[in-house]
Structure 1
Amino acid sequence: MEHEKINKKITVIDGSHFSDLKGFYEEFSQLFMKDEDWKVGTLDGFDDILYGVETDITWKNSQKSKEDLGFDVTKEFYENKIKQGKPFNVKLIQQKLDELIEGNGPTLFEILIEIIESHKNITLILD
């Protein structure tokens, strides 16, 4: 068992390579889906890909990502979904937007962290 731990894969996500959610998805797709003919484009899709992934993820320049994917971008993310309407649950998204504005809701950065940390085979290191 110890031997396996030593050989555990380490994947580096570099926050200096992107400044928005689309860029994060592109960075992630490059790292995890090189041979696939589709790319990550949603939070659910991101979550799905992490099933079965066994790696340590080091998120370099995570402070930059925390700012890039912070309050303003998250607010815009929800507002765009509300504007778009279907297929989105506008009521739920409005609730998430309200929570964000009240200071109780997570930013996109925090949502991505939550998703990664929900996968027990992945260890996340913020650098």
Structure 2
Amino acid sequence: MTVIDGNHFSDLKGFYEEISQLFMKDQDWKVGTLDGFDDILYGVRTDITWRNSQKSKEDLGFNVTKEFYENKIRMGKPFNVQLIQQKLDELMDGNGLTLFEILIEIIESHKNIRLILD
């Protein structure tokens, strides 16, 4: 079993650091993107307990997600600004996913992982 502890981080960068420590101890690179997080979960077979998940849900909620998309739009290339604008619009309309929900979706897309929110 692997434990992600929401008390160990309060932003996406901190989440990536937590994940890197849990899954990438012996590697010379660290997780730094949503795609990278998804990639390291391939081949993983474990239960993941996300402790203090309510705190993470708040920390990685609407405002942080809005800022995340706005920063990518501001940076432009190499990001698909049109797609990111669409995701921002969906978020603003109440139909988009927060970063927390995106992370949950990524974990749940891996059938060999069982997620327990605590």
Fold shared by both chains (TM-score > 0.5):
yes
Q: For the superposition of Structure 1 and Structure 2, which TM-score range results when normalised by the shorter chain?
A: over 0.9
| Unaligned segments of structure 2, at least 5 residues | none
Q: Return the match for 1:32 from 8, 15, 23.
A: 23
Deviation at 1:44, TM superposition (A): 0.3
Aligned to 2:60: 69
Rg larger for: 1
Q: Percent identity?
A: 88
Residues 60-112 of structure 1, C-alpha deviations (whole Å, 9 max, x = no match): 00000000000000000000000000000000000000000000000000000
TM-score (norm 2): 1.00
What amino acid maps onto 2:106 in structure 1?
Answer: I
Q: Structure 1 runs of 4+ off > 3 angstroms?
A: none
TM normalised by structure 1 equals 0.93
Does residue 76 of structure 2 align to residue 85 of structure 1?
Answer: yes
* Paired position in structure 2 for 1:57: 48
Cα distance in 2 between the residues matched to 1:105 and 1:70: 11
Unpaired segments ≥5 residues, structure 1: 1-9
Q: Measure the CA separation in 2 of the matches of 1:33 and 1:92.
A: 30
